[in-house]
Structure 1
Amino acid sequence: MAATPEYAIGAERLPQSAVRPARDTRLDVLRGLALITIFINHVPGQIFEYVTTKNFGFSDAAEAFVLISGIAVGLAYGSGFKVGRRLDMAKKAIKRAFTLYLAHMITTFMTLALFICGAWLFHRPGLLVEINILAVLMNLTEGIPALLLLGHQIGYNNILPMYGALMLMVPIILLLYSAHPLLALGVSAAVWLVAGVYQIAPHNMLIADYWFLNPLSWQFLFTIGAVGIMHVKRGGKLPEHPMLFVLASGYVALSFAWVVGQLWDLGNVLAALGLPPVLTGFDKTFLSLPRLLHVLSLSYLVINIPVLSRILSRPSDHPLTIIGRHSLNIFVAGTILAMAGQVLLYITNHDQMIGALFVVAGISGQFAYAYHLERKRIDGSVKARSMGRRASVPVAVRVGDGSRKLYRDK
């Protein structure tokens, strides 16, 4: 029998089958870029906001974030969702959803505290009517339960509830995929279309409105990411054809010209076709088709242009890789910083210089926090490996007849 290939790891030598494949950093880099862009967009009224992706196409960082999250879920849960382990994987997804709920509660109540303190300390009561805060303060007995039950969402604090709802759908998505990938995509597309046509979405409790990001609509983009990566992991290939590349490039170019040229009046021409708004409009709540096609076209180009793939493939210690690796912590920190930035801009009458300096400082702070988290992760990993080695080190013990016996140090 041929010898098993081995890799040296420190003082140990492990068989090839025991070595985990290197992490593809492109996903972390893209997630890091999305997090930074979301932070900039969540501090409106400063100059950097005008150079983010939302100004050059139909979709923005939120669509990119959800698509990347779907891919990440496909990588993390797809291979483990097997007969006998499905309940465990479902519990894991539900636990993750609860973690996202707790993170949302942190950002929500920190936002309330920042705006209330800003209004009190700087005598700017106008802060209390910003970003849906007043509805809570006018009736705390209903407002606080509404926040806890996700029946009211403060402005710029609406991504995590949608993401948590998507995580609750993960077992269903994986179950449909296990039957057939096209079944998962077909059911997901049908839910997206019905929700968009008939305006079906979770309702708010304090105001007559929907969730800003409808999970019944956004699950389609999430499912596309998850199903796509699981298909590739099983040896499949994504569609490749020169015409698809031309169509994707043309659509991205059209979107760019439309948004930069402010051609929104052309939307009336599409509306005149009599089709449902979800197919012809640009609504974010129900993830209208033009937005969906734009983020998918961009993704297709990123996948099929080798130079972009090489640019995104950064070392594991690259700043964007690190910030993307700790996405939830960074998102929470970025949201709280963005809310502080909104208060600061309000009390300084949206001073452009102060806004720009704050954004630079906020991004720098997030990178510093990411490096802190990475150091803790590395230290914990080193400590765990050290304890694992110690548990398996042979120990020589002299016995009564003068001989030596080897024992394992447990």
Structure 2
Amino acid sequence: MLQKTFEGGTDQRGVAPPVPTGRDTRLDVFRALCLLTIFVNHVPGQYLEYLTHKNFGFSDSAEAFVLISGLSVGAAYSGKFLAGGRLALTLKIWRRALALYVAHIMTSVVTLAIFAGGALYFGRQELIGEINIRPIVEQTEQGIVAMVLLGHQLGYNNILSMYAVLFLLLPGFLWLNAVRPRLLFAFSATLWLAAGCFKMVPYNFLDDGYWFLNPWSWQFLFVIGILCMSHVRRGGSLPRSPWLLGLSVAYLAISAFWVLFSWWNIDLSFGLPAVLTGFDKTFLSLTRLLHVLALAYILATVPVFSRLTRVGSNHPLVMIGRHSLAVFIFGTILAMAGQVLLLVTDRDRIIGTIFVIGGIGLHFAYAYYLEWLKEVSVAPPLKAA
């Protein structure tokens, strides 16, 4: 996708072609597929969950979504973080971080209400024991403070808080990217490695746990996306190497067999840190990182994927991807309702599958509604007769 979207290099006259600056709908398509897959995975215990790509490799849609976000940030901000405009752009980015924080708090509160409502109206008190809710119920005052200060996170409600931290760091990333891209890569890689080796991670207030998605680890994938897109925006291109393609395919195949045949008891660590040899999602182990990068390289360099995802701006998937934050919030709340439904129906897989299929349809309906709302808001007012 990157290879064909923003083709770098020079033409036959030795002149660098202009780099397109319009919105690439292919990023929206992949973002939409990630959003839909995240929704499916967030309603565990139904049949569609077994069809998502987490069952065929080390990484899942969370890694893909963060990488796509980095690519989108690179497309939106590369070349813009310049002297004279840095303060305004920084404030704009931090306003986005605040919006992500508010969205995280809102979805967490709604999630609490959904599970508490299920416990009350269905008489299923065991719902309070799900997704890390009980510490808040047992320590209400401390729990409220902890949730507001991001010191306690509910299960399946931990992506937006990580994104908020990434956007707080983003101005620094953009400055380093403008000055020394290689220094940014070295800094980001070092932080990722240190976080994994020394367990540098935000800790919880109410228990001995820590954030499920460690921002000091996941920033590396985010930065890789920024650097790749910025490189292409400067006129570069991804290397199209049969060797790299072959290695990527081989790695995906090995990881698929590893997951399908549950080879988790095979120890190939050789005494190295777990972040380099394990499969931990919190600290984004190297195995997961390489998996999503191998998958991204194949999608970016094999032309058929570019053709399949080159669609019009009104395509349903593009609409979902274009309104990613609102759709993600909608999907999270819907998924929490689906979890309660599965629990009160004694995890009936058929009911859960029907709910998820209907939920996918609601994702498209909501995206169309948001698009219609945007068109109405920018439409000129009707003139009086």
Structure 1 length as normaliser, TM-score?
A: 0.87
Residue 352 of structure 1 corresponds to which residue in structure 2? 349
1:4-403 to 2 correspondences below 5 Å: 22-266=22-266, 268=267, 270-271=268-269, 273-383=270-380
Structure 2 distance, partners of 1:142, 1:100, is 23
Q: Which moved more, 1:246-255 or 1:155-164?
A: 246-255
Structure 1 distance, partners of 2:286, 2:22, is 36
Residue 9 of structure 1 corresponds to which residue in structure 2? none
The 3-state SS of whatever aligns with 2:380 is helix
Q: Which runs of 5+ in 1 are unaligned?
A: 1-19, 388-410
Residue 13 of structure 2 corresponds to which residue in structure 1? none
Shift of 1:281: 0.1
Shift of 1:378: 2.3
Amino acid of the residue matched to residue 358 of structure 1? Answer: F
Structure 2 distance, partners of 1:377, 1:244, is 42
Q: Which one has the largest radius of gyration?
A: 1
Shift of 1:217: 0.1
Are the equivalent residues in 1 in contact too, given 2:79–2:178 (CA < 8 A)?
no
User: For residues 236-281 of structure 1, what are the alpha-carbon distances to aligned partners after superposition, in whole Å with 9 as ceiling and x for unaligned?
Assistant: 1223322111111111111111111211122x2x12x000000000
Are the equivalent residues in 1 in contact too, given 2:71–2:229 (CA < 8 A)?
yes
Are the equivalent residues in 1 in contact too, given 2:78–2:233 (CA < 8 A)?
no
Structure 1 distance, partners of 2:318, 2:192, is 32
Q: Which runs of 5+ in 2 are unaligned?
A: 1-19
Amino acid of the residue matched to residue 340 of structure 1? Answer: A
Q: CA RMSD in A?
A: 1.4
Shift of 1:22: 4.3
Shift of 1:363: 1.0
Identity %: 54
Amino acid of the residue matched to residue 368 of structure 2? Answer: Y
Which runs of structure 1 show a deviation greater than 6 angstroms over 4 or more consecutive aligned residues? none
Structure 2 distance, partners of 1:45, 1:316, is 34
Structure 1 distance, partners of 2:203, 2:28, is 33
Shift of 1:87: 1.0
Amino acid of the residue matched to residue 280 of structure 1? Answer: T
Structure 2 distance, partners of 1:232, 1:170, is 19
Structure 2 distance, partners of 1:75, 1:383, is 30
Amino acid of the residue matched to residue 326 of structure 2? Answer: N
Q: Which moved more, 1:375-384 or 1:132-141?
A: 375-384
Amino acid of the residue matched to residue 336 of structure 2? Answer: M
The 3-state SS of whatever aligns with 2:284 is coil
Structure 2 distance, partners of 1:288, 1:156, is 20
Amino acid of the residue matched to residue 274 of structure 2? Answer: P
Amino acid of the residue matched to residue 250 of structure 1? Answer: A
